Amino acid sequence: MNEAPRPEPPGSIDPEVGSISQADLTVDTYQVIDADGSYDTERLPDLTEEQFQDLYRWMLLQRTYDERGTKLQRRGRLGTFVSGKGQEGAIVGSGFALQDQDWVFPYGRAAGTLLMHGLSLRDILLYWRGVEDASRMKGANVYGFAISIGSHIPVVTGAGWAMKLDGRDSIAFASLGDGATSTGAFHEGMNFAGVLDVPAVFFCHNNQYAISLPFEKQTAADTVAQKALAYGMDGIRVDGNDVLAVYNAVAEARRRALAGDPVLVEAVTYRRAAHTTSDDPTRYRSDEEVEDWERRDPLERYETFLRDAGFWEGIDEEAIREEVEAEFSAAVDAADAFEERNVEEMFAYIHEEMPPEVRRQYEEYAAFLEDHPEMDDYIEQRPKG
């Protein structure tokens, strides 16, 4: 046996050995409105003046929801809270491009997307109070929040595949953070989405941080959008603080998805709030960095556009603020009025229909509690704040 089977060091290497490199890629970031509010008239979406104005209202509602939700949690009236402050352009622009028959698979920040898709604000608040009933997402084509990072991506692919087999005119729409693109579930879901040509759009809010880890430390890829190529899919990179650019990008991605070409969209934005109300972002990012992104505020940019385009005159900002504040207050009151936990809840949601043995256990337990009212002293109801 040759004890030195390999040349050391290697001999001459063929200079014709080829490779592909991300350095050879050019991944443009699509924009309609520049950071200073100037805009490309050729790229304006085909919306009515009222629809342009309505986008601003939705963005203001998202900002109000984030600010008041954070305060509610600080006062002990929510278990935890996840803010989308700074990401309003990505949240609202993507939601505005969907259709009612589409299914949304959300992560925690995109409340505006869910509200315009028909989910009630009361139920979103109840969810952050830990009320099981809110996870049913009643009245809207919305799946449960993906709290485990990236875990919903294979589910989105499966749902999209089912839509394709049923011949439905709808897509599966996933919202996810940039950290999710570094998980195994993302790889598995994206791979099969490409193989099966499912009608799905994977919308990544690249807000620069996976909890406390900056983007450049969680992946060596220059962009999220380019990861689509590994799965034989198209990728779109868009300025996530530009609500019109996001609307155009997702509308185009949806059109391609319906034709059997799933798309990965990367919206470049910034999380100005903490990861959750349990996080202290001052430990891993500087004030200067946050202030730099504050100067790229999506609402201020869009307001500048509306003024320059002549659409601002039809907007009564004070009236809109009063309206969204009242809408949030009404949702809090409705959440407070939600009925107390019933013992049946522990049994009702395990199966679509309660099996005979589970029903027997429920009826036996309910009878026990009725016969022993002293047990009420040991039952803790969910907090209402």
Q: Encode pLDDT of 354-379 as tens digits.
A: 999 999 999 999 999 999 999 888 88
Q: How confident is the model at residue 186 (pLDDT cuts 50, 70, 90)?
A: very high
In the set 117, 275, 301, 302, the catalytic residue is 275
- This prediction's pTM: 0.91
pLDDT in tens, 35-49: 999 999 999 999 999
pLDDT for 133 equals: 79
Residue 374's domain comprises: 343-381
**Hey, what amino acid is at 245?**
A
Q: How far apart are CA 247 and CA 95, in angstroms?
A: 8
Residue 335 has pLDDT above 90, yes or no: yes
**Identity (one letter) of the amino acid at 232?**
G
| Of the residues 317, 337, 357, the one at which a domain ends | 337
Q: Give the per-residue pLDDT at 14.
A: 85
> Exactly one of 284, 349, 359, 382 is catalytic; which is it?
284
Q: What is the pLDDT of residue 264?
A: 98
**Do 64 and 193 sit in the same domain of this protein?**
yes
365 has catalytic annotation:
no
User: Per-residue pLDDT tens for 11-30?
Assistant: 778 888 889 999 999 999 99
Q: pLDDT at position 341, please? A: 73
The mean pLDDT value for 260-281 works out to: 96
What token pair was written down for 164?
């394709």
pLDDT value at 336 more than 70? yes
* Residue 187 bears catalytic tag: no
Same domain for 291 and 355, yes or no, is: no
Catalytic residue, chosen from 109, 122, 271, 272, is 271
pLDDT at 163 over 90: yes
% residues pLDDT > 90 (the chain): 83
Specify whether 332 is located in the same domain as 376: no
Q: 200-206 and 172-177: which strand pairing?
A: parallel
Task: Using alpha carbons, list the distances in angstroms from residue 134 to 160, 191, 347.
Answer: 24, 32, 16
Percentage above 70 pLDDT, the chain: 98
9 is a domain residue: no
Count the domains in the chain.
Answer: 2
In a domain, 325, yes or no: yes
One domain, residues 313 and 358: no
Q: Is residue 369 in a domain?
A: yes
Are 311 and 180 members of one domain? Answer: yes
308-309-314 Cα angle (round to 5): 100
Residue 2 confidence (pLDDT) above 90: no
Q: Is there a single domain that holds both residue 352 and residue 369?
A: yes
Lowest-confidence pick of 77-81, 91-95, 340-344: 340-344
Q: Is residue 373 part of a domain?
A: yes
Are 185 and 309 contained in the same domain?
yes
**Diameter over CA atoms, the chain:** 88
- Domain match, 333 and 360 both: no
Q: Is the pLDDT of residue 385 over 60?
A: no
Q: At residue 236, does pLDDT exceed 70?
A: yes
Burial class (CB in 10 A: 0-12, 13-18, 19+), 292: exposed
Clarify whether residues 363 and 264 are in a common domain.
Answer: no
Same-domain check for residues 243 and 376: no
In a domain, 23, yes or no: no
Q: Does residue 229 surpass a pLDDT of 50? A: yes
- Mean per-residue pLDDT, 120-133: 90
pLDDT reported for residue 286: 96
Q: What pLDDT sits at residue 384?
A: 52
In this structure, the answer to whether residues 320 and 357 fall within a common structural domain is no
Q: Looking at residues 48-52, what average pLDDT do you find?
A: 97
pLDDT of residue 382: 62
Rounded distance, CA 129 to CA 338, Å? 11
Q: Are residues 222 and 265 in the same domain?
A: yes
Whether 271 is a known active-site residue: answer yes
Q: Is 194 domain-assigned?
A: yes
